[in-house]
DNA sequence: CGTTAGCCCTGCTGGC
DNA sequence: TGCCAGCAGGGCTAAC
């Protein structure tokens, strides 16, 4: 469930930690994490490489290698990237999936309880193709009212499903879709095409404001999320509706409801969101 | 093309 | 108290 704010937090921490360091050794503890690429092929492309910079695209964390290749991580539900020292301690090995041993005795570890997470390498050509499938970054200018009005078009799917679609906008997940829709006063099941321009304006603003605030608070630490230094975010303390079923809506005092939208647990206030 | 359902995984929750 | 079915969900693919 790490979404844009969580990956951004990790990215900002890892940038100074990893930049300029050399990957001295790769240990693929669980080959499922690099699948379908074989652990050996993965290691060959990463081993000995220098990390030039660290960046983010949507929910993907990117290590830009000197070879021109990009080492891509996706944390999915329970993935964790952590700054570590060598050797990796015994009680640190539960759910350990991948270790990048770095020059100078430091390391980057990848833990993942549910094994949904991914690590893979893309060539410059592949990167270009890959990012084309993703929508704009929600915090950039290109994501605005006009864009939102255009993509809702005459689509019939629920607006929340549209927001979760990474080809529409990159980085919004279940938490921030719920919170942004609440902030915009829009019901998550509203057919996207019914969103008018005033609502589109509110929604674009709500998405940006929600993500910006979440980044300031270093993300939401619910379930297993921790940042690259093992720390917690605090945006979860400001949730208006997400995971607050049965609790009072901070706006009207009514009761927050939980439904399923596109197979995802969805929280909203029936009286504030129309 | 647009949309939806099912699958991958395993720790945790809720019901009995 | 102990057990276990079922839930959680991001992104991909298949199917409609």
Q: How far apart are the first and last CA of chain A?
A: 27
CA atoms of A81 and A30, how far apart (whole Å)? 15
Give yes or no: A194 in active site. Answer: no
> What pLDDT score does A150 carry?
95
Closest CA to A188 of A266, A254, A255: A266
Check A76, A194, A264, A270 and give the catalytic one. Answer: A264
Side-chain-side CA neighbours of residue A237 (13 Å): 6
- How far apart, in whole angstroms, are the C-alpha atoms of residue A266 and residue A154? 23
pTM for the structure as a whole: 0.95
Q: How far is the CA of A57 from the C1' of B12 (A)?
A: 31
* CA of A154: nucleotide with nearest C1': B2
Nucleotides of C under 7 A from a protein CB: 7-12
Q: CA A252 – C1' C13 distance (Å)?
A: 42
Integer distance in angstroms from CA A253 to C1' C16?
A: 42
Are A58 and A89 within 8 A, CB to CB? no
Is A2 assigned a catalytic role?
yes
Per-residue pLDDT, A222: 86
Give the pLDDT score at A8: 96
Q: How far is residue A205's CA from residue A144's CA, in Å, rounded to a whole number? A: 8
| pLDDT on residue A70 | 96
Dist CA A238 CA A241 (whole Å):
9
Please tell me the predicted confidence (pLDDT) of residue A224. Answer: 82
Q: Which nucleotide is nearest to A134 (CA to C1')?
A: C11
What pLDDT is attached to residue A223? Answer: 80
pLDDT in tens for each of the 274 residues of chain A? 899 999 999 999 999 999 999 999 999 999 999 999 999 999 999 999 999 999 999 999 999 999 999 999 999 999 999 999 999 988 888 999 999 999 999 999 999 999 999 999 999 999 998 899 999 999 999 999 999 999 999 999 999 999 999 999 999 999 999 999 999 999 999 999 999 999 999 999 999 999 999 999 999 988 889 999 999 999 999 999 999 999 999 999 999 999 999 999 999 999 999 9
- Is there a catalytic annotation at residue A3? yes
Interhelix angle A4-18/A197-216, rounded to 10 degrees, is 40
Residue A212: the pLDDT is 96
Residue A197: phi and psi, rounded to 5, are: -70, -30
pLDDT for residue A274: 94
C1' of B11 to CA of A76 (Å) = 15
Is residue A81 within 8 A of residue A10, CB to CB? The reply is yes
Active site residue A66: no
Q: State the pLDDT at residue A90.
A: 84
User: Using CB atoms within 10 A of its CB, is residue A41 exposed (0-12), middle (13-18) or buried (19+)?
Assistant: exposed
Q: Which residues have CB atoms below 7 Å from chain C, the nucleic strand?
A: A 1, 3, 58-59, 74, 76-77, 114, 116, 133, 164, 166, 173-174, 260, 263-265
């Amino acid at each position: 469930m790490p979404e844009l704010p969580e990956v951004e937090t990790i990215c900002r921490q890892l940038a100074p930690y990893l930049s300029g360091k050399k990957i001295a050794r790769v240990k693929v503890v669980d080959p499922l994490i690099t699948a379908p690429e074989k652990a050996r092929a993965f290691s060959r492309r990463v081993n000995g490489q220098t990390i030039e910079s660290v960046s983010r695209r949507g929910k993907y964390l990117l290590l830009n290698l000197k070879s021109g290749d990009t080492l891509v991580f996706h944390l999915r539900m329970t993935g964790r990237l952590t700054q570590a020292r060598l050797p990796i301690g015994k009680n640190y090995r539960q759910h350990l999936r991948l270790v990048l041993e770095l020059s100078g005795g430091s390391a980057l570890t990848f833990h993942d309880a549910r094994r949904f997470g991914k690590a893979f390498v893309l060539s410059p050509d592949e990167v270009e193709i890959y990012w084309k499938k993703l929508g704009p970054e929600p915090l950039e200018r290109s994501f605005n009212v006009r864009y939102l009005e255009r993509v809702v078009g005459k689509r019939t799917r629920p607006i929340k499903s549209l927001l979760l679609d990474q080809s529409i906008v990159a980085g919004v997940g279940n938490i921030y879709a719920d919170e942004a829709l609440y902030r915009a006063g829009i019901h998550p099941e509203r057919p996207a095409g019914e969103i008018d321009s005033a609502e589109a304006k509110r929604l674009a603003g709500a998405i940006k404001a929600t993500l910006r605030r979440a980044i300031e608070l270093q993300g939401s630490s619910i379930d297993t999320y921790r940042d690259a230094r093992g720390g917690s975010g605090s945006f979860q303390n400001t949730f208006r509706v997400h995971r607050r079923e049965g609790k009072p809506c901070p706006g009207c005092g009514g009761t927050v409801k939980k439904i399923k939208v596109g197979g995802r647990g969805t929280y909203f206030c029936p009286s504030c969101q129309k």
